[in-house]
Structure 1
Amino acid sequence: MGIDQQLYEAAQIDGANKWKQLIHVTIPGIMPMIIIMFILAMGGLLKFNFGYSTAVGLFNSVVNFILIFATNKISQKVNETSLW
């Protein structure tokens, strides 16, 4: 609705089919809204509706991932050996 129709017309003149218009016009046009909705959804990730033990397990996994990622970066800088 907020994407200018002239962009679709220009893409059609350039030979883009509906799929190419979706990829190159629609998705980039709504990407700011997608990102905002994603950020707002992440804010409600740990509302504890899943139960206390599930929330603690998820938090534990996130912290462990951060620790592994940081240790990997330190190892990569010090020893030039890393997991990825």
Structure 2
Amino acid sequence: PGPDITDQPALLEYARDSGQTAWHTVGTCRIGPPGKGVVDDHLRVHGVQGLRVIDASVMPTLASSNTNAPAIMLGERGADLVLGDASS
């Protein structure tokens, strides 16, 4: 931050002013039980029949790399889940 940041409030202000995102948001529709997550382990939205979320928003945490590969894997697994439910 530089020599002008000398206390905790100044450091916090610096972080708020200069922090940014890479726009790889995840976790906005986490997998988990009702009350702790938005979707179940088959990516079905709790309380909404026929709706699934199959994208990076179901990831509970951000990967230490780009989210592209995990998102593709989620899409592949989600397609398998949809097809499996449709055939049963």
**TM-score for both structures, normalised by structure 2:** 0.28
Which structure: greater helix fraction?
1
The structure having more radius of gyration, on CA atoms, is 1
**TM-score for both structures, normalised by structure 1:** 0.29
